[in-house]
Each structure stands twice: as structure tokens, then as C-alpha cells.
Amino acid sequence: MKRVITYGTFDLFHEGHYNILKRAKELGDYLIVGVTSENYDKSRGKLNVQQSLVDRIENVKKSGFADKIIVEEYEGQKIEDIKKYKANTFVIGSDWEGKFDYLKEYCNVVYLERTRGVSSTKLRNEKRGIIKLGCVGTGRIAKRMCRESKYVSGISFDYIYDRKIDNAIKFAEDNDMTFHTNNYDEFLDKVDAVYIAIPHPYHYEFTKKALLKGKHVLCEKPITLKKKETKELYSLAKKNKVVLYEAIKTAYAPGFKRLIAIAKSGLIGEIRDVDATFTKLINDYNLREYDKEQGGGSVNELSTYPLIAIVKLLGCRYKNLSFNSFKGPNGVDIYTKIYLSYPNSVATASVGIGVKKEGELIISGTRGYIYVPAPWWKTEYFEARFEDQKNNQRYFFKFDEDGLRYELSEFLNSIIGKNPNISLSEEESITISEIIEKFNSKEK
């Protein structure tokens, strides 16, 4: 008897799930299906699973293809299951190509081409539909979002727009997407929601058009480079009853949210100073980050990260604002220090694309301080430190891969009506745009 084994979450059971089980069964005489447990999904960074384990097992059972259903509960279980059930072939979707090659030591490994164009689901209802998410832009961050979207249940990330059709075609092929175009209107007609991942100066135009067409928008940071434009976009979103999120991934990370809560709890007393740094060396002057026309420069590129920490901790109503910068050969700022003062506190944000500095966050209070080592924007660990070191406390959190799945999960939850955006407020987005605009006005 030829035994085949496969695994999956099988949330919101759809045509793609049905087809992969059907094709897996055709490869042998007996099909074993592993359904992931809630705890295992969380441990591997799978977010927003909407159905219970019992419901997901029932989905698989109803397909009629599984001869045996097991529960996957921990990393490394696949090897044990293959041995235990004497499986000859391991089957998984082609979007995981190469990831399970280590199993070839134990059985044949087959990557099945996934079903393209899944737009409806079996066992689907109005409240739990799959959101069709389209991507605008084919750059580095768009590629990372494609990878991260696999870990968020309830999204079909299969649509790509780029003004250059060759870029759109290649991106679709590389990322196994179903639809590509260089016609933005045609693109918007295909999707429920849009992820904007193009250079900063074009965010306003593309976001506005999507909102006017009734599409939900997740826009890369900074959402715009001008306060007035950011305010207008949020107003349009409310008017058209759609969701608008700014994609500052740090704001949605579990560790960062806990950091803010602890810092503001009074543990370190009254917060008097926030010092946040984010720098990265970019040595290719031909890249977008060094192009003024594409919104290049340290402040435009990186300041949203330290500024979100500052406005979260000290608020949006600063009294004074100033900047000190060094410029590079292309005329953009390669390193800038931003100084903010509040009635009872001060803050400094340091950003650089041509100068390197320790990327730490220090929150200073009247009783102690919190130290977050680099890279603090991927908050996994921080310490609360006090005069008496015996009182020091350490905190650890999980931050999966690029962390884009956290913002994507919250964005999806807002769309389906589970909760509003509590991680990044409209006022905070507007304040960050205002600070960036003041810097750019100063540079002219």
C-alpha cells in the first residue's frame, strides 16, 4: 500500500484545499492529513486562524479524501509521523517549494502546484469570506509581504499592479500570483483591499483612488509626506466606510505593544526622555533611498520608526521641533537627528542611511529606565533597569521573520469587523506626517 501524508491549517476550507487533498489522494492508496493545532499555529507565527481545530478537522473530513486525520502539535512532528505511519510520499503546496526538502531522507517529497484564482470557499459565509488583497508595486517590501501573507489566514494575495507590465508579469510568476496588470482601474475592480508598496511621493494618489472606489487600504509608511494629505485620506476612508492602515510594522508587533504598556504603567515613574535610533547603511547611490524625486533620505525613509515610539510614549502635542542633518552626494540627508520637546519631557530620534549608529531605544523615567537593544523596532527583548539592580526585570517576546504578518492580521480583522485599529491611531499617523513635512520644508 502506498501511503501519502500532507499537512495544513485548512482554515476557511476552499477550493485550493479541496484540490490539493484530491491530488494528494491520487498519488497513493491511503491519505493521512495532519491538521495544525491552535498552539502550533501560534508558535510558528500563523495568525488570524478563524475556525476552531474541531471545525477545521470537520472541513477535511467532509472532503472525503482523508483516510486518517491527525493533529500536528509541535515542530519536528512530521518526521515522527512519516516513520510512525510508514508514509511513502509527503505532499505540500508549491508555495512552500524547498522548505521541506529535509524530509527527502525519509520519503518522497512532492510540491503540488497550488490552485490559482481561489475566490470562493466551501463552508464559506458572509462574515468569514476570504479577502482578495492586491499589491501595488513590485519592490523589496512587496516581495517580503508576499512571503508573510502565507501566515495570515483569510487573505488571498494574488493580484499585482505595476506601471511597468514586465515588472508585473515577472512578479506574478515569481510569487505564483493569478492576476497582473499595469492598469490601476482594472486592478481595483479585481480586489477587496489594496497594499500600497511604491515610493512615498505616490502613496497619496494611489491610496486616494482606492479609497474612492471603496477599497480598504494598507499603505506603507510614511502614509504621505504631508499632514494635509494624510488627514484627507483618513476622512475619505471614514466617508467611504473602508479601513485605512499605515504599515508601520513596529506598531503592530506584540513585543512593542507590551513595551509601550509597561513604560506607561508607572513602572519607571514619569517618562522624561525618549531616545530612539534607526540607521542602516545603504551604499548604492542608485537606489530609491538616495533619489529626491522618489522621497529618498533618512527622514523620509526611516523616521516613522523612532517617531512612533516617541508619539506613543509622549503623545502628539509636542511644543518644539528641530533638526540637524548631514547630506550625501545626491543631496538627500544621510543622517538626521530630530529633537522634540514636550511640557515635561524631551525626545530624540536619530535616523541614517549613510551613517551607522547603535540602534537602541532608551526610555528614561523618574524611577528607572527601559533599555531595548538593537533592533528595537523588532521588539523581542527589553529590560527595566533601576538604581537597585536587584529590581531589574527582563521581558521576552516572539517576533516572527519580517513582522509584516502582524500589521496584515490586524488590517484583516478590522475589515471583517472584529476590532478597530488600536495599534496606530489616526492622530499618530497625522503627527508623523506633519513632522516629516516640516523637515522637508526646511530642506527646500
Q: What is the pLDDT of residues 186-237, one digit of tens each?
A: 999 999 999 999 999 999 999 999 999 999 999 999 999 999 999 999 999 9
CA-to-CA distance for 73 and 78, rounded, in angstroms?
Answer: 10
**pLDDT grade, residue 329 (50/70/90)?**
confident
**Residue-level pLDDT at 118:** 46
Task: Enumerate the domain spans of the chain.
Answer: 3-112, 126-248, 254-398
**Partners of 159 in the beta sheet?**
134, 179
pLDDT-above-90 percentage for the chain = 77
Is residue 178 a contact partner of residue 119, using CB atoms and an 8 Å limit? no
Grouping H, G, I as helix, E, B as strand and the rest as coil, residue 11 is: coil
Q: Which CATH architecture has domain 254-398?
A: 2-Layer Sandwich (3.30)
Topology at the third CATH level for domain 126-248: Rossmann fold (3.40.50)
Checking if the pLDDT of 36 tops 70, the result is yes
User: What's the DSSP call for residue 115?
Assistant: P
Checking if the pLDDT of 128 tops 70, the result is no
Q: What are the φ and ψ backbone dihedral angles of 46, each rounded to 5 degrees?
A: -80, 120
**Residue 42 CB contacts under 8 Å (≥ 6 apart), including other chains:** none
Q: Which of 55-64, 114-123, 297-306 bottoms out in mean pLDDT, i.e. has the lowest?
A: 114-123
**Residue-level pLDDT at 129:** 65
User: Domain 3-112 is in which class?
Assistant: alpha beta
Read off the pLDDT of each residue in 33-44 and give the average, rounded to a whole number: 86
Is residue 336 a contact partner of residue 323, using CB atoms and an 8 Å limit? yes
Read off the pLDDT of each residue in 334-360 and give the average, rounded to a whole number: 97
Checking if the pLDDT of 263 tops 90, the result is yes
Cα 168 to chain centroid, rounded? 21
pTM over 0.75: yes
CA-to-CA distance for 47 and 371, rounded, in angstroms?
Answer: 28
Read off the pLDDT of each residue in 313-326 and give the average, rounded to a whole number: 97
Same fold flag, 3-112 and 126-248: yes
Q: Check the CA dihedral 421-427-432-434 and report its sign.
A: positive
